[in-house]
Amino acid sequence: MPERAVWPTIPTGATRVAGVIGDPIRHSLSPALHNAAYAALGLDWVYVAFPVPAGSGAEAVGAMRTLDLAGLSVTMPHKQAAASAVDRLSPTAARLGVVNTVSWAASPEGELVGDSTDGPGFIDSLRGDEGFDPAGCRAVVLGAGGAARSVTLALAEARAASVVVIGRNPAAAEACAEVAGPFASAAIPDDLSAAITAADLVVNATPVGMGPGDGLPFGMDPDWLASCRFVADLIYSPARTPLLIEARARHVAAANGLGMLIHQAARQIEMWTGRLAPLDTMSAAALAALGRPT
């Protein structure tokens, strides 16, 4: 693969181009993460954000062939469209029905493969950054949207003893739990106290905590967290959500979603380039892009 003698240099005709499609996309941290990694690896690659409106996701995935893009990240609202536009799906993407990564197949040549690195990235972050192995743990996932589905499946694949999905929409919570098979079950917010006080790991997969006036998801009592071993919030901005603040106040280890974001990108980089992703460089780039101290 092409390498740069000195980086950054001005892209040439030999530069490989990768990117992300989404709408909105201009705020995305992915270009900062990927470009910092390519530079650290000395690769003559560049990663750009492509604003693609809803309804044009499949066409944009098809353009990967026309433009010979090296890889494509996919974010809202195109994750489902991308799943139907690729030639085949990884087992994880097939179970979820969504794709956040499009890569070229090793063989047969010319085939596009869709994968989903969000859930595995979450587990990598738990294990690698936080030293928490979810194997055997009783987990509660708050929320039943796309991120909750990815995390629920990943926790089941990481051999969590159980995963309880709590959603305000019972049908969505059931559907989310079904993705992970017999390891997961659904509950409604009325069951929150029993589920959380029995949990080792609590994961917030709702956006509650992003807004300035937000409290805890489902208005839960923070004292229920006291016997947890780990609390993970998938939100990464702000860095400290009310859930994380309350958990740490009770001496419960806790982390925001930045690690998941970095590790899902790291998996994409490793798939596309065949090189080990430089996690420290990516972390520094993410913190710099967010204006936080490194």
- Please give the distance of CA 159 from its chain centroid, rounded to a whole number: 19
Question: Running DSSP on this structure, what letter comes out for residue 104?
Answer: E
Q: How far is the CB of 241 from ligand NAP (least distance, A)?
A: 9
- Per CB under 6 A, 203 contacts ligand NAP: no
Question: Running DSSP on this structure, what letter comes out for residue 43?
Answer: B
Q: Which of 30, 73, 90, 206 binds ligand NAP (CB under 6 A)?
A: 206
Lay out the site mask for ligand NAP across 152-171 (x = CB under 6 A, - = otherwise): ---------------xxx--
Q: Give the containing element (helix H, strand E) for 7.
A: none
- Residue of closest CB approach to ligand NAP: 145
Q: Which of helix, strand or coil describes residue 202? A: strand
Q: How far is the CB of 13 from ligand NAP (least distance, A)?
A: 34
- Per CB under 6 A, 172 contacts ligand NAP: yes
Q: Which of 81, 126, 201, 208 binds ligand NAP (CB under 6 A)?
A: 208
Burial of 19 (0-12, 13-18, 19+ CB in 10 A): buried
What number of chain residues touch ligand NAP (CB under 6 A)? Answer: 25
With respect to ligand NAP, which residue has the nearer C-beta, 44 or 129?
129
Do 117 and 140 touch, CB atoms closer than 8 A? Answer: no
CA end-to-end distance (rounded Å), the chain: 31
Q: How far is the CB of 294 from ligand NAP (least distance, A)?
A: 19
Q: How far is the CB of 144 from ligand NAP (least distance, A)?
A: 4
Structure token pair of residue 115: 């994968």
* Best CA proximity match to 271, nearest among 55, 116, 95: 116
Binding segment (CB under 6 A) for ligand NAP, from list 62-70, 82-90, 129-137, 258-266 = 258-266
Q: Which of 21, 43, 52, 147 binds ligand NAP (CB under 6 A)?
A: 147
Q: How far is the CB of 61 from ligand NAP (least distance, A)?
A: 19
Q: Is the bond preceding residue 170 a cis peptide, omega within 30 degrees?
A: no
* Best CA proximity match to 202, nearest among 247, 169, 238: 247
Binding segment (CB under 6 A) for ligand NAP, from list 33-41, 127-135, 179-187, 229-237 = 229-237
- Per CB under 6 A, 96 contacts ligand NAP: no
- Per CB under 6 A, 240 contacts ligand NAP: no
* Best CA proximity match to 271, nearest among 75, 76, 34, 32: 34
Q: Please provide the size of the chain in residues.
A: 294
Catalytic residue, candidates 79, 95, 149, 263: 79
79 as an active site residue: the answer is: yes
- CA-based R_g, the chain, Å: 19
Backbone angles phi, psi at 144, to 5 degrees: -140, 30
Q: How far is the CB of 175 from ligand NAP (least distance, A)?
A: 10
Binding site residues, ligand NAP, CB under 6 A: 118, 143-148, 167-169, 172, 205-208, 210, 217-218, 234-236, 257, 260-261, 264
What is the set of active-site residues? Answer: 79
